[in-house]
Amino acid sequence: MLRRSFRAMGTDVELLLDAEPGERAEGALDRAEAELERLEQVMSRFRADSELSLLNRDGRTEAASHDLVRVVKLAIEARQATGGLFDPTVHDAVVAAGYDRTFDALPLALAADATSTLCVDSTQGPCGGGVRVEGTTIELEPGTRLDLGGIGKGYAVDRVADVLAVVGPCLVNAGGDLAVRGGAWPVGVTDELTLELTRGGMATSGRDRRRWQRDGEERHHLIDPATGRPAVDAPIRVTVVAASAVAAEVAAKAAFLGGDVDLPRVIVTADGSTVLAGGLA
């Protein structure tokens, strides 16, 4: 079993590859790492020269890369499928909540304007700004900016798993977003619970990490598109297993925000108890 760990997309990444050590396997791991770096350069909102940052700045691009077009389309489809619980246009709300730089660079306590919140399009609620994709052209409604953090990471995990799968069964884990190709992979969900994943992806959304203080109030990065603020009265975290890391990421976020998700999932409720649902036993 080959294992490679490194930092990318603002989180810890693990590549597990069930293959004989050698040049071929090492080459695949190198290509996987390079693919992750390439996709981060496309979708990171923390890099001023990323394709996504340029789109958010200009509001329009006519020569978007295949990956950006694909992820934006997936995000739009996810918004429709989840009834708006998953929304890629929460960018300004996340920034307004204080998550305006990589989490590594985020001070634990922020003292800034706590009244700031987002409002993209008042006709559609605080979030839900218009995004038009046609061919390689992506156009954002004025005032709309995209945050592809979660779904972009899921997409990258799926792509990297495809790269590694050429060599052998593999698992890719980017800060909790997982995808497997072949093999059987025990994945720890809580201290007491392990799930063996043999196909698909897994993702966890929660408020137990990536949280910070602002004006004495605890904030986290999961924005409720209905209010444009960090979700309240939500469970501590939800882990969902789905056909892909992208689908798991979207479903985990929707389930965290109270959406009806019919997939295998583990919910850690606000009182700390663990609930299995969606066919898990």
Q: Using CB under 8 A, list all residues that contact other proteins.
A: 11, 14, 16, 77-78, 81, 150, 153, 171, 173-178, 185-189, 193-210, 237, 239, 241-243, 247-251, 260-264, 276, 280-281
The nearer residue to other proteins, 91 or 153, going by C-beta atoms, is 153
Q: Which of 219, 260, 264, 222 is nearest to 239 (CA)?
A: 264
CB of 33 to other proteins, least distance (A): 17
Give me the DSSP letters along 252-273: HHHHHTT----S-EEEE-TTS-
- Cite the DSSP H helix spans in 44-110: 51-58, 66-81, 91-96
The nearer residue to other proteins, 27 or 83, going by C-beta atoms, is 83
Token pair for residue 189? 């969900």
Q: How far apart are CA 46 and CA 69, in angstroms?
A: 19
CB of 115 to other proteins, least distance (A): 27
Q: How far apart are CA 175 and CA 187, in angstroms?
A: 13
The β-bridge partners of 5 are 14
CB of 264 to other proteins, least distance (A): 5
CB of 253 to other proteins, least distance (A): 10
CB of 70 to other proteins, least distance (A): 13
The nearer residue to other proteins, 51 or 249, going by C-beta atoms, is 249
The nearer residue to other proteins, 142 or 188, going by C-beta atoms, is 188
The β-bridge partners of 232 are none
The nearer residue to other proteins, 86 or 146, going by C-beta atoms, is 86
The β-bridge partners of 276 are 266
